[in-house]
Amino acid sequence: MSEVVWPAQRGAPRKLPWDTTALDTERPNTYVRVAWLLRANRLASEYGAVTAARWRKVLDLPEEVNSDPTLSRLESGRGPVSTTILNRYESLLGMHPGTLRGVTDAMCRALDPASLPSRQATVTPYSIDVLDERIAAGVATGADWLTLTDLLASPGADHLPGRVVEEWVAALAFEFSRSSGEEYATRLEALCAFVASPRYTHRAERVIREVADLPGNPHVAELYDVLGDSVRPGIVEDLTREFVRSSGRRLWGMTLALTCHMGYGSVSPQDEALIRRAAKQRASEPACAELARQLVHALDLRHREPVRERGLDGHLRNAPGLRTYLDAVRESGAPEDQMLQRLLQEALTTVFLERTHHSQMLILVSPYRRVIADTALDIMTAPQRTEAERRAAGRLVGTLADETHHARLISLAYDSGVAGVAARRALLNQRTRPSGIPDGLDDGRWNGHSVARGWWREHGIRPDDLERARQVQ
């Protein structure tokens, strides 16, 4: 990821859209969040200072963006976008294929399914065959995987043999388990689309579980989180029973999946009673108490009256370390951005688990990734910071840190506290094989990292979608 240099602009400051819904709202404005991604990434690019007319000409999408008012609606969130527009922005702005599409689809599917970008997938044997060849050759990009799920979900799609679908899901799950950053985001959404398909949900779930349970899989929690999109009857009850007997990262994945089902409204009164009993059963265990509390909290949020009595709005407004991040962004030369403030408030807290995740993903593919990661590293290692600030910063570091932070992460990884945990997680998410760590280090703190190194040796290095896109051109 290159350093962002915001282009100088003439005239009045260019405004960025922001979500003005209440902080503790049940349903945030996803249209505005998508528009923010488009406009923020454009303003931070070589096209940041061009006129609307010039940008429309560069976009070259006359059927979708045929006037300045149309472009204004697109970049202000006054309506849905299409996958065609997302793909075009990615291409022109030099982003990884599928980056905007992946985080947008995932967010909309979780927070407001009605706002999913429109898509027009045409099913032909040729298109399926081409994608199958790319998958078999190991050169399918995140955009290819998303296109495949569109094709399979379109009305004219044939019912493909189960064996073929299982092979695709297995290949995707293995790639996801080796992914980070943009590649991670696109493949996560593709997996969710597979389990969200009534036609393929059973087979997809079975394969995902098999890959998640392989020894050393560094993304076991995230793979189980995917099951939060499963439409299989009885999935909520099964996840709840597994929550009772799971531990570690698997338990965290079960918590995320159940929270996702609550957000979709697919939890029945019987399911809710079962979840509350499971949470109560595990609340007495020190390692599980916080996750049990979060499950109960997510259930309580389904009943609107108690929410405002809990002061959630104030908790979000005072997110740990918020002012430090905003000051760093301002000093970087970025324009005033109230949407970024909103996303940080959600990303730095765990009031809404699903929103915490999706806000982090939006920041991940925004121009602010580097400055937020740098600031989080500073906060995480500052002894004068509160425990809450350091823990919140650690979550951001684990998601946003990239290869430019490698040397600093290595030095922090030996720490026995919050900084060490976050640094080791971030090192696991590096795009290349881990380096600089002694192979024979006999230290329990490194166990997860050592196991993951064994995983990479067996299953290969991380996907690089920019390189893959060049290979298939």
**Average pLDDT of the residues of the chain:** 87
Amino acid, single-letter form, for residue 424:
R
In a domain? residue 381: yes
Residue 336 lies in a domain: yes
Phi, psi of 416 (to 5 degrees): -90, 0
| Position 379 in a domain | yes
Residue pair 359/346 in contact by the 8 Å Cβ criterion: yes
pLDDT tens digit string along 397-441? 989 988 888 788 888 877 878 788 788 777 766 655 444 444 433
**What SS3 state is found at 82?**
strand
**Pairwise CA distance, residues 75 & 364, whole Å:** 19
Does residue 418 belong to any structural domain of this protein?
A: yes
Residue 455 is assigned to a structural domain of this protein? no
pLDDT tens-digit series, residues 202-245: 999 999 999 999 988 888 999 999 999 999 999 999 999 999 99
- Specify the amino acid at residue 211: V
Whether 408 maps to a domain, the answer reads yes
Instruction: Name residues whose C-beta falls within 8 Å of residue 158's C-beta, 6 or more positions apart in sequence.
Output: 123
Question: In the numeric block, which tokens belong to residue 56?
Answer: 């429309």
pLDDT in the model for residue 403? 80
pTM of the model: 0.87
**pLDDT confidence band for 455 (50 / 70 / 90):** low
Q: Is residue 429 part of a domain?
A: yes
Query: How many Cβ atoms are within 10 Å of 433's Cβ, its own excluded?
Result: 11
Portion of the chain with pLDDT greater than 90, in percent = 59
Q: How many domains does the chain have?
A: 1
Task: Identify the domain containing residue 406 by its residue range.
Answer: 316-351+368-439
Q: Is residue 389 part of a domain?
A: yes
